[in-house]
């Protein structure tokens, strides 16, 4: 969840994978976080399409990414983090 927007945990994990791939391709070729948009990815889950139309999309994606960046979080804890319960 980000504000009034809610997303499935699986979709947020897919978003994280896409953003990780973009950040670790090649240090010389990595696009800056500010100019990268997961909206350009064909495999972006459908539920993020409304976010892509918003001006604050990059901030929303970054907050969702940060919520699930801890690889060792259990499903329940990650879900709580996404809901802002920490």
Best CA proximity match to 46, nearest among 15, 70, 86: 15
**Whole-angstrom distance, CA of residue 40 vs CA of residue 57:** 12
End-to-end CA distance of the chain: 13
Token look-up 């945990």 returns 9
State the pTM of this model.
Answer: 0.66
What are 77's two structure tokens? 């804890």
pLDDT of residue 86: 44
Q: Chunked in runs of 10, what are the mean pLDDT values of the chain (86 residues)?
A: 83 89 59 67 92 91 83 53 52
Annotated domain spans of the chain: 9-75
pLDDT of residue 75: 54
């Amino acid at each position: 969840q980000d504000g009034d927007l809610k997303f499935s945990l699986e979709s947020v994990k897919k978003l994280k994978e896409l953003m990780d791939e973009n950040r670790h391709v090649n240090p010389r070729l990595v696009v800056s976080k500010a100019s990268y948009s997961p909206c350009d990815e064909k495999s972006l889950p459908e539920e993020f399409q409304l976010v892509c139309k918003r001006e604050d999309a990059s901030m929303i994606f970054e907050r969702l990414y940060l919520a699930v960046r801890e690889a060792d979080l259990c499903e329940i804890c990650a879900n709580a983090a996404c809901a802002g319960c920490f």
